[in-house]
Structure 1
Amino acid sequence: MRNVRTGGKTAVVAGGAGFLGSHLCDRLIADGARVICIDNMLTGRPENLRQFEREPRFTLIEADIIDPLPQRLTASRDPIDEIFNLACAASPPHYQAAPEHTMLTSVVGTHQLLGLAAGKGARFMLASTSEVYGDPDVHPQPETYRGNVNPIGPRACYDEGKRAAESLASDAIRARRVDARIARIFNTYGPRMQPDDGRVVSNVICQALSGRDITVYGSGEQTRSFCYVSDLIEGFIRLMACEKELPGPINLGNPQELTVNELVRLVMAHLGADSTVTTKPLPVDDPRRRRPDITRSQTYLGWSPTVTLEAGLAATCAYFVERSADLRKPPAEAAVNDAVEAGLL
């Protein structure tokens, strides 16, 4: 049975020190919740949580969800109302650094958090990904599309891990063990992205700010749809709060589609950069087109993104401009370049 109580709720955020997780913690605290953040700090960053240093409603537990969950969670009689599973490296150089750990985080970690949700009567949300669609043959991608994923390719530890996690959550729903919901996240950007995370928005901004050449892979005509982080977090909140019977996973992303070349031009214009654009071969299994069909999110959640690409890029560029001194340090980009040359990006 799902736990129902009045007053301030308690939410667990696995991966709460990461890019998306820290923004979700911000929103939950602002909404009056008590937040328990679980993070192993492999890709999460302490500075993302500094705003909570004197916040009595925030607790950080440094732990890895592939290990047995801490007893302070499992053995405590304190109620837990919601569990958000955002724990997993989500950028190619990071999840490829330890592919087995990536897979186990999605599978073992999700299994353990579903067990915690069942024991506590908590509602559960899995942060899945548009990568479950692989290099799609259907465009835009509706949730009914089963995908075109290479199960043995260099991205499989993440793609197939999330597909397995969705299966675990779906089995828990069918068995009525857990009130679970699945968010399929499309490309998201905004402040707190890491400069070395290998994602196209941060790559282009950081290369432009540091005066280096901007790298475009393939022709640059491959498309993506970029959702600003605050819009995505609003989607999480609405999905977790939804009392309607959901038909399955829900796409959360911005349906505005543009090419990588168009993104590069927008960023260079915004920063006044005159960087040279260089090209490299397209990475293995890189999707040619990516755009969400958000009919379900509009119908069941009343959700559509509201932040324009221009406004979102302005805020994201401003964040990196404030940290521009760090962008001149070579090791971070070297790691990204190594991953690209290995066909991981």
Structure 2
Amino acid sequence: MSTLDPACFDPASFLRDYWQKKPLLIRNPWKEWRNPLEPDELAGLGCEPGIESRLISGAADALALEHGPLPLDRFDALGTAPWTLLVQAVDHHVPAVADLLLQFRFIPNWRIDDVMVSFATTGGGVGAHFDQYDVFLVQGLGRRRWRVGGMCDETSPLLPHDSLRLLADFEPVADYVLEPGDILYVPPGIAHEGTSLGNDCMTYSIGFRAPSVGELVDGWTEHLLDEAGDDDRYTDPDLTVQDNPGAIAPEALDRLHRMITERLGDKQAFARWFGEFTTAPKPSEIDWTPDDPFDVERVEMELASGAEIVRNSASHFAFIEEEEDAVTLFVDGTAYQCSAEAAEVARILSNCQYLGVNATQRISSDVVALLVILLNAGAVAIVEY
């Protein structure tokens, strides 16, 4: 697995000086860079149903977009024209790609989204554009030229295109050529354009979740509507005769307003909903369940033999501290209440890739119960030695 060399990259300095402030080119900061995925494997993923993929082909001034799954013979028919294959959430399908995320966990877990992988032939690219989230662009194979521009927003003019949001006025202020292992960090809103300089260009785009106000309001209110019962209605047992029945009395408006704001403003309920919302995998139908389900006896036996628990690198773990040293653990969109020893295990798994267990140590029933659930969800696995 490729790991970042702390002598070449300091997360604290990066967060202080660059995160959401300005782009940064990081020249091969890995102890030893190893490309985690072959081009043929990526092409295979682009042909599979249920995996989000896109094919962008043609010259820069006439780009065409196709959505996957792609036919198996589609790549052979592309000829010499430049093209780019992009496959979303590859970390959900290739553990070696998911391991890349481990190197960027100096960003809070809930902010990490997924790894999109692209392969491009000479001249291939997606055009000048900007993203609304932070992204680390890791060069895997070949060489790619990146031109970086200024800040954009929703008012920035776009080229007319049915499917792609391409900038009409792109003025680069920096120009870089990335070699294998190099990383380009691009903050939200910064214009950038990548162009392949060969027929073997692979780039790993590590994106981050940045929910908009609209997404939060839509998701939170939809959740509240799902939770609301049909019997939860307006009441006015203290009603008195009004001078004019056409008036909506201030007391009625206050009561109606409270019906809404008390639910919208329930911070504890919002926190639980947000933990589930932000850790939910994309796509939601991903299935990591093991072929052979675990039970309490099997887990206790494995732990007693000195087995180690390893976290699925693509799973999203986050937690919220609760009273009395308890936590609510969120894993891939599901909440788990944890107290005592189980809460400490939840904290460890949210921070570390491995959970070592002393074979002579007594494991509480709460911990075993939590591990059984996580093992059967595919969020963790058991490694035997």
Whether TM-score is above 0.5 comes out as no
Going by fraction, where is strand more abundant, 1 or 2?
Answer: 2
* Structure-1-length-normalised TM-score: 0.26
Give the number of the structure with larger relative contact order, counting CA–CA contacts within 8 Å between residues 6 or more apart.
1
Larger radius of gyration: 2
Q: More helix by proportion, 1 or 2?
A: 1
